[in-house]
A = this chain, B = another copy of it.
Amino acid sequence: MEKQNVTIYDVAHQAGVSMATVSRVVNGNPNVRPKTREKVMKVIKELNYHPNVIARGLASKRTRYIGVLLPDITNPYYSSLALGIDDIANMYEYNIILANADPEHDAAGVESLIMKQVDGIIFIGNSISQEARQKISAAGRPCVFTDLIDPEATMPTINIDVEDAYYQVTKDFLANGKKRIALVGSDQGFKVSQSRQLQGYEKALTEAGHAVNEDLLIAAKSPSYDSGYALYETFTEIEADAAIATDDTIAIGLLNALLDNGVKVPEEVEIMASDNSSIVNMSRPELSSIAPPIYDIGAVAMRALTKLMENETLDTDLKLPYQIIKGGTTS
């Protein structure tokens, strides 16, 4: 319980300068004579002064907090993304504050973040509600999207070229003779929203002269292992011979459900996952997966946000390179 409250005033007093000068030193304002700066620095060290972030926030109207909305922090894909964001945020001396935002509660999440006076927002997920999107606009806060495209197309989106990835994967499946390729989403949204995933998938089918079969578009209740596992019945009914899952936890759930029921993977059914998150090698066989540069996506998103907050403009659609990792669930 040592001296808890060295203020800028104490430093100013002790150094024989004004608060304004101390403030300048602390904030790296160049308009300070080197000698003065040095003296102030010394006192800051001596007194172990740390600026009060709250007071600073009040006075400057900027908090250096940025809000990150994501569907589920226990999903390894999202938590890894958060890590990339956090690293860059620290680099720019921003702090991140996480908020869970499944599709039902994203508006509440946005609102709570805005009330916390965050300087900017990173929105991660498959979809955003109109209401949530409006609140972001209304608050006039910069925002960067990841995974999904900004429905208003005014804020940047960071991701791989999802459409291309799904196109490639679907094409490969077709080339390998697959006739019934299922697209397995993590919620119902991907069907209605004409997601990029669906577009890439459709493009490959169309090119090969096939139409999209609605039956083959199925969705888990949520992006989780159990929801994936629970898909077994549905999946069996549609008699698919291949599946592309939009989420790794769903992919592993489905894989294990198939294996547990004696279905051979990849011989009878091939599976492609989408995140290459930390769990893809926990199953046997290991999951094949589209491999987005997860950490980089987070990092680039955060970097983009810092630019936005400094009123720079950027491209609205940044596409990072991806790979396709061959595990044991595809041939």
A residues with a Cβ closer than 8 A to B are 1-2, 4, 50, 52-55, 57-58, 63, 73-74, 76, 79-80, 82-83, 86, 95-98, 100, 112, 115-117, 137-140, 224-225, 252, 256, 259-260, 278-279, 281-284
Contact = CB atoms under 8 A, between A and B. Distances in A.
Given A53-B115, A282-B283, 17 more contacts: A1-B137, A53-B116, A54-B63, A57-B57, A73-B79, A74-B76, A86-B100, A96-B98, A97-B97, A225-B278, A225-B281, A225-B282, A252-B282, A256-B282, A256-B284, A260-B284, A279-B279
A79 B83 CA distance: 12
A325 to B, nearest CB: 15
Nearest to A77: B74
The oligomer's copy count stands at 2
Contacts of A86: 100
Contacts of A224: 278
B116 A278 contact: no
A1 B138 contact: yes
A54 to B, nearest CB: 4
Closest 10 pairs between A and B when the two form their complex, measured CB to CB: A1-B140, A54-B57, A74-B79, A282-B282, A73-B79, A54-B58, A2-B138, A58-B58, A50-B115, A252-B282
Nearest to A82: B73
A81 B243 CA distance: 32
Contacts of A79: 73-74, 79
A64 B321 CA distance: 41
A327 to B, nearest CB: 13
B53 A55 contact: no
A252 to B, nearest CB: 5
A53 to B, nearest CB: 6
Contacts of A95: 97, 112, 116
